[in-house]
Every structure is written in structure tokens, then in C-alpha cells.
Structure 1
Amino acid sequence: MRVAMIGTGYVGLVSGACFADFGHVVTCIDKDPSKIERLEKGEIPIFEPGLDDLVARNVREGRLFFTLDGAQAIKDADAVFIAVGTPTRRGDGHADLSYVYAAAEEIAGLIEGFTVVVTKSTVPVGTGDEVESIIKRVNPDAQFAVVSNPEFLREGAAIEDFKRPDRVVVGTDDDRAQVVMRELYRPLSLNETPIVFTGRRTSELIKYAANAFLAMKITFINEMADLCEKVGADVQQVAKGIGLDKRIGAKFLNAGPGYGGSCFPKDTIALVKTAADYGAPTRLIETTVEVNAARKKAMADKVAAVLGTEDLSGKTVGVLGVTFKPNTDDMRDAPSLDILPALQAKGAKVVAFDPEGRHEAEKLLEGVTFTAGPYEAADGADVLLILTEWDQFRALDLDRLKTLLKAPVVVDLRNVYKPHEMVRSGFTYASIGRG
């Protein structure tokens, strides 16, 4: 089938490359000349393991194309995907749908014959209705169906998630659109992947509900971690004990400094706003948003408490990892954006290392010095703060660290190391929820 993918951000690029790898012919469209130029040269503008090879292979084999002018690709397409950003709108917290609606207007004037228009972007309930209205207004004679097809991609594992998903959700009541969507995802039938067909509004809500639930799960275990510290329990054992219950499950029960990233923060806020607009307030999600924001800000106090002083003037904090999770260069709503400025506000000098996030982080973290490696970040620091659990931080040379640090103090916000081993190695060690 022929696919046009509007937007070459995280979702659009991964989805386009994976559809091409399924054997479809995909044209990815973007209005950013520098991004298209880089992609045509084989340069990937985001870090996602395996994506560079996937893109290169499908470009080489003539199934994946990039362009600034998508007119012909949209005219020829069986399905046109809208995969543009829906950031939080300044001022009111709602999702900014201006890019989605602009894409809908562009599509409306170009489609020929029956075309499935698919919203892949994360959008509030009712957005598909508005996309349909825009296309009808601009092109009353157009033959089309608007479908919701939310993405469930984890950064760092996006290709695996696309090719071996738990499920594919498709929101449409149009029989012709169902045929097209089944054909697009037919390669997944080998894995017996469930394709869940729902109404369009239901599909739109499924995406927000899924992310809100996972965000609540993270926030829950973080609050349990705080309680564990007070009563002398171990949050990792608590997580294991409840996670073995199949009704709960073990995933997203890792205590830490709070959730961040491109999805959970904006999607929880957008769902709260949508629910309020419809007079159905979501108190659990509202509380989740509030607790998570407070938690990230409180982590600087945890570092100060370990050092025994609120005034960190003259102190240096070495930081390992600044991206919101490992295996990505994404800095969107990363806990580091709250924690490191809070440490600086207490007077600390911050020196950091991240394997992939430096380029983006330097734009966002003013005054932070970045180094070439983890040991350079530790050199001369009063405390080492582990903030992102990159694999290369899991087996550091502890003896070498002790010689580099001014004092052997480690604050581990990801529970990478075992407390008794760190104490036995001569460190003052603090972690999350392991009192």
C-alpha cells in the first residue's frame, strides 16, 4: 500500500520506517528543510536504537522517501497519517491542535479517490470529528474516512513496540477504512497481534487513559517509596511483592525521581483539562500530576540532606544522566530540568554526563558543565547523583570513583546499586525507598 506520513518527529519517523519495513511504500513529509535534508543524507535527527539502520535499509530498497512537498504522495496515498506534535498549549494546559488542523487542511485539498486519513498524533476526544469537518469544508466532494490510530511507542524500544505490539487500536466505523487498516497492519498477523476496532472517540480516549494509568502507577510506587524510607522497608521488594499479582503486574513499579518524557506529562494534563470541560473531573489523575511535579522538585532537598546542609555554596554535584530515561536523547519534561536548577539555586555547581542527551540538554540547562564521561563528572565532586539509569552506569569502578570524589557520597535516584554493597565499599549511599 502507499502511505503518506505527515510529520517526521519521533512518532512519524518510527512509524513510517516500520511501515516501509512491512513492505509498504512510505513518503514522510515535513516542513522543516533542515530535517528533510538530514534525513535524505541518512542522518537521523533523534536517537532511537536501531532506527538509523532501519531507515537506511528501506531508503536503499526504495520503500521510504522524504520530502518537503507532499502533494503527490498525498494524492497517491491509500492512507495519510497525521503524526505532528500536540504539545501542551501555553496558558490553559490543553493540547495544542493547531498542527493537526493545519495538516487536515493541507490533506483536504490534495486527496484523490477514497483515502483513509489517520490521526496518529495523541489528540483529545473529539479531534477526529473536527478533522473530518475541516476536510468536508475544504473539499466537499472528497471521498475519505477519518480514523484514530494511537501510538503506544516507548522511547528506546519503539521499533520493537511497533513491530511486536501488545495491541493495535483503530477507531472507525467505516467498513472501507477497516479494510485499509487491516491491510496496513497485516504483517502483524504472524504474531497474532490483536487489532482492536472501536469507535473513533473511544480510540482517542484509550490512548490518554493508558498513559494516565501508567503515570498513576509510577506515582503510586513513588509514594510507597517515601513510606518505605520512613518505616525501614524496601520499595523494590514491595514492588516485587505486589507486581507478582497478575491483576497489578510488575511494569512501571520502579521508584524514582518522578516521570517525565514526551507523553505522560502532557497527556495527563490534557486529559484533566478535557475531563473538566465535560464536567467529569478526574481526581486521581489531577493528584498524580500534582504529586509528580512536587516530587521532582523535592529531589534536590534529598541531595542536600545527604550532604547535611541546605546551603550548597561551594559544593559540586556530579550528575550521571539527564535525559528522562535511558536509550533516548529526549529531554522533554525530564526530571533533571527541575532537579538540577534546584541544586543550582541552593548554590551548587553542577557537572553532568549523559551518553546521548548533551546536545539537547545544553540548550535547556543553563550553567551546567558537561563532561566526556562518567568519571570526569565525578572528578572533584562532593556527591555523585545518578539520575538516569543508562546501562553504562550500572557497573562503575567503585574504587576509581572513591579516588575521584572529594568524599565517597552517592545519591542514587534510580536504585541502580545495592545499599549493602555500596556501604561495604566505603560509600555514604542514599537511594529511593530503601530505608
Structure 2
Amino acid sequence: MKIVVVGMGYVGLVAACCLARSGHQVIGVESAPEKLSKLRSGILPLYEEGLEEVYRKTVESQHLSFTDDLREAIEVADIIMIAVGTPSLPDGRVDLSQVYEVSGTICEAADHPFIVVMKSTVPPGTGKYLIERFFSKARVPISYVSNPEFLREGIAVWDWYHPDRIVVGCDDARTAEKVLELYSDIEAPKVTMDITSAEMVKYASNAFLATKISFINEIANLCELVGADIKAVAPAVGMDKRIGPHFLQAGLGYGGSCFPKDTKGLDFVSTFNGYSFNLLKAVIEVNAKQRILAVRKLHKLLGGLVGRRIAVLGLAFKPNTDDIREAPAIDIIRYLVDEGAEVAAADPLAIRNAASQLPPCVKLSPDPYEVLHGAQAVLLATEWPQFIVLDWGKVKGLMREPFVIVDGRNALDPEKLTELGFIYCGFGVLPKFRG
């Protein structure tokens, strides 16, 4: 099929490359000149494991091309997939301005029947609104489908071909079957439903996963008060098949482009519809608190933050991505600088993205040993494998007293670090101090 994918962000670019790899003729539409120029020049504007190989092969085979002219691309389209950004507004609402702009252009330029597939995450009810406001008024029949994505950044290409399920929301069975043909080479349960229910599946999934993270962080905080160890508690809880082990890792909480935006968005939708989603409000509050808790731990262990030198390991919101959106490290570094600390930070991929978001006084380097030199404390904010296996004996030789380690991901070995002479502090982990 001939597919137009609008928006070359994480979701759109992965979708475009993978659909092209499956043999479809794909045009990626990107309005940002710098990003479009990179894509046409053979340079990916973002990092995603395995994506560069797929991108190069599909471009070379001429199954994938890029343009900034949506109207021209529409002329040949069987399916138009919308994958533009839907960021949060300050009040928690989802900013749908890009969705509206693209939908308006599609309707104005439509000269033959086709299907619009919504990949962007939009609040429940958006599809019906778009049909009423835009697509029902087009000169030609336009079918609308909600097809939410469940890709995890860092392994999105793998997730595309190995999804837990493929969800299609549509009011017409034939249209749903046509969209499911896009995934004919993928073995996964394929679930069809109405449009609004499909939109809700995405929000409900992310809200539930965020709830698990905030719940285990609350349990970890309680462990510290009663003398339990979350590293023993969480795995045993996760052995219950009704609960499962995933998303039970205590620490700094969730970040990224999905969980923060979607929890706030669902909370706003609930309030707008006259319902107070108290559980979700608590999830959001707990997650914000974890970042402040990390700063408090450093303040207590260092006896204050003014003039203290602190190294932060990790800037991306999770390993294997350069994405810093809603990353805990970014907020924590800002807090530390505001409190008078001297901060240096390392990350193997995210430095370029973080540089414009952090105060200029923050020293950035891809080399963790460089930022650890002279530090009195270190915060592990992202559990990159290369940080976990650092030569901690060498690290101690580079640092200054009191040699504090705040393990924001509970990913390090407390006993080993304590034996080396560090003051180790995790989240819900039994404290271990130097003898």
C-alpha cells in the first residue's frame, strides 16, 4: 500500500521505517526544515536501537522517502497515518493543535477516498470530534481509524514487530480489515473495537503502568521508615502472577514522553467530564515527590548543598535513548543548582539534548570519570549499563569526602560500595554506612 506518515518523531519515524521494511511504499512528512534535511541526507535526527539499519535499507530500496509537502503526498495515499506531537499544556490538557492542523490540511487536499489512521496519542473522544469537525466535511469519503502505539523508547523497532497486541478502533469492519493488513507480517493478537474505546486503551495502559511505579515507590519509602528492604520486597511481590514483576523498580520514578503526559491528560479528561480520578492524582503527586526526595537525601548526607560538588550519572529518562523529556535528572539538576550545588553530569547519548535545558553552569561530558573528578557525591539517575560497571575503586580515588552515592535506580551493589568506603543510599534499601 501507499502510506503517508505525518510527523517524523519517535513514533512516526519508527512507523515509517518499519512499514517500508514490510514492503509498503511510504512517504514521511516532516515540516521542520532541519529534521527534514537530516533525513534526506542520511542522518537520523534521533537515536533508537536498530532504527538506522532499517532506515538505510528502506531508503536505498526506495520504499521510503521524505517531504515537507503534505498536500502533494496526499495525492498518492491509500492511508495517511498521523503521528504528530501531542504535548501537555501547563494545566494538563493535551495540546492537539498539530493534530487539528494536519486534519484540516488533509480535508482540504483530499481528492480521492482514503483512510486516516491516528497514531498520535489523543484523549478519548478526540476521534469522534475530528470526524465531526473535519473528516465528515471533506469532498470525498475519508475513513477514520484509531490505532494507538505501544512502543517503548529504546526498543521501539523490536516492539513494532513483537507487540503484545494491535488495537484498531473503527466504526466500519472493512476499514478495520484494511488497516490490519498493514500488520499482516506481524504475529500478535489483533483487537478491534470502537474509536473511543481504542483511545482509552492507550491511556488506561499507561496510567496503570505509572500507577505500579508510584505504588512501589510508596512502598519503598515506607520500607525506609520500618526497616524493610525494597530489593527483597519488590521481587517477592512480583512473583504473584496477578501482579507480575514489571514496573516494580523503586527509585526516581517515571519520565519520558508518555507516562507524564498521559497521566496528566487522563486526569484532565476526567475532571473535564466531572469525575475526580483520585488514584491517578496520587500517582502524579508521588512521582513528582520522588525527584524532590533525591535532593533531600543529598542535602542530608552532605550536610547542605551550597558549594557541594555533585556528579549526576545519566540525563536521559531511561537507558538506550537520547530522550530527556520529563527526565528526572533534568529536574533534579535544576533543584541542585538552585540550592547552590556545583553540578556535573554524564550521559552517553543525551548531552546534546540536555545542554539547552540545563543552566550553563552545569558541566556536561560523555565521560563519567571526568564528571566524577572532585565530586563529593554522585547521583545515579539513569541506569546505563556502563555506569553500573564503573571501576568504583577508581571512582573513589577521583572523588572527595564524604564519598556519598545516592542510587536513584537501586541498580548498584550496596555491599561492594560500602566496603570501598562509600556512604550508600538507595530508595527503600536498608542503609549501609562505613564502619
Q: TM-score, normalised by structure 1?
A: 0.96
Is 2:328 the partner of 1:330?
no
Deviation at 1:138, TM superposition (A): 4.6
Q: Say whether 1:248 aligns with 2:243.
A: yes
Residue among 140, 145, 148 paired with 1:147: 145
1:376-418 CA-to-partner distances (Å, cap 9, x unmatched) read 1110001111110011111110111111001232111111212
Q: Confirm or deny: 8 A CA contact 2:135 2:142 kept in the other structure.
A: no
SS in 1 for 2:53: helix
Q: Work out whether 1:425 is the aligned partner of 2:420.
A: yes
SS of residue in 2 equivalent to 1:328: coil
Q: In 1, are the aligned partners of 2:87 and 2:261 still within 8 Å (CA)?
A: yes
Q: Which residue of 1 aligns with 2:232?
A: 237
Amino acid at match of 1:281: S
Partner of 2:365: 371
- What SS does the corresponding residue of 2:28 show, helix, strand or coil? strand
| Aligned-residue offset at 1:70 | 2.6
SS at match of 1:187: coil
Which residue of 2 is the match for residue 400 of structure 1? 394
Root mean square deviation, CA, Å: 1.3
Amino acid corresponding to residue 214 of structure 1 in structure 2: L
Question: Which residue of 2 is the match for residue 301 of structure 1?
Answer: 296
User: Which range moves more in the overlay, 53-62 or 176-185?
Assistant: 176-185
State how far apart, in whole Å, the 2-side matches of 1:93 and 1:419 are. Answer: 38
- Structure 1: distance between partners of 2:112 and 2:102: 18
Segments of 5+ residues of structure 1 without an aligned counterpart are none
Q: Which residue does the alignment assign to 1:120?
A: 119
Q: Secondary structure at the match of 2:27?
A: strand
- Secondary structure at 2:159 match in 1: helix
Q: How far apart are 1:185 and its partner, in Å?
A: 0.9
Query: Does the 8 Å CA contact 1:318/1:385 hold for their aligned counterparts?
Result: yes
Q: Secondary structure at the match of 1:142?
A: coil
Residue 201 in structure 1 maps to residue 206 in structure 2: no
3-state SS in 1 of match to 2:134: helix
**Contact 2:16–2:26, Cα closer than 8 Å, also in 1:** yes
Aligned twin of 2:433 = none
Query: Which residue pairs with 1:87 in the alignment?
Result: 87
- Distance in structure 1 (CA, Å) of the matches to 2:366 and 2:180: 47
Cross-structure match for 1:362: 355
Map 1:42-81 to 2 at 5 A: 42-81=42-81
Which residue of structure 2 aligns with residue 185 of structure 1?
A: 183
Q: Return closer, same or farther for 1:144/1:137 CA change in 2, 3 Å cut-off.
A: closer
Which residue of 2 is the match for residue 349 of structure 1?
Answer: 342
Query: In structure 2, how many angstroms separate the alpha carbons of the residues matched to 1:368 and 1:165?
Result: 39
- Please list the CA deviations of residues 307-345 of structure 1 after superposition, one character each: whole Å capped at 9, or x if unmatched: 2x13x2221001110111111111111111221111112
Please say if 1:15 is aligned against 2:9. Answer: no
Structure 2 residue identity aligned to 1:100:
V
Aligned length: 428
Rounded to whole Å, the distance in 1 between the matches of 2:404 and 2:270 is 45
Is 1:34 the counterpart of 2:28 in the alignment?
Answer: no
1:260 Cα deviation after fit: 0.9
Whole-Å separation in 2 of the counterparts to 1:135 and 1:362: 40
Give the distance between the partners of 2:63 and 2:27, measured in 1 at CA.
Answer: 8
| 8 A contact 1:125–1:204 mirrored in 2 | yes
Q: Residues of 2 paired with 1:197 and 1:234: CA distance?
A: 43
TM-score by length of 2: 0.96
Cα deviation for residue 239 of structure 1 reads 1.2
Shift of 1:137: 5.8
Q: Which runs of 5+ in 2 are unaligned?
A: 431-435
Q: Is the 8 A contact 2:103 2:135 kept in 1?
A: no
State the SS of the aligned residue for 2:310: strand
Question: Are the aligned partners of 1:101 and 1:134 in contact in 2 as well (CA < 8 Å)?
Answer: no
Hey, what's the Cα distance between the residues in 1 that align with 2:149 and 2:111? 26
Identity of aligned residues (%): 44
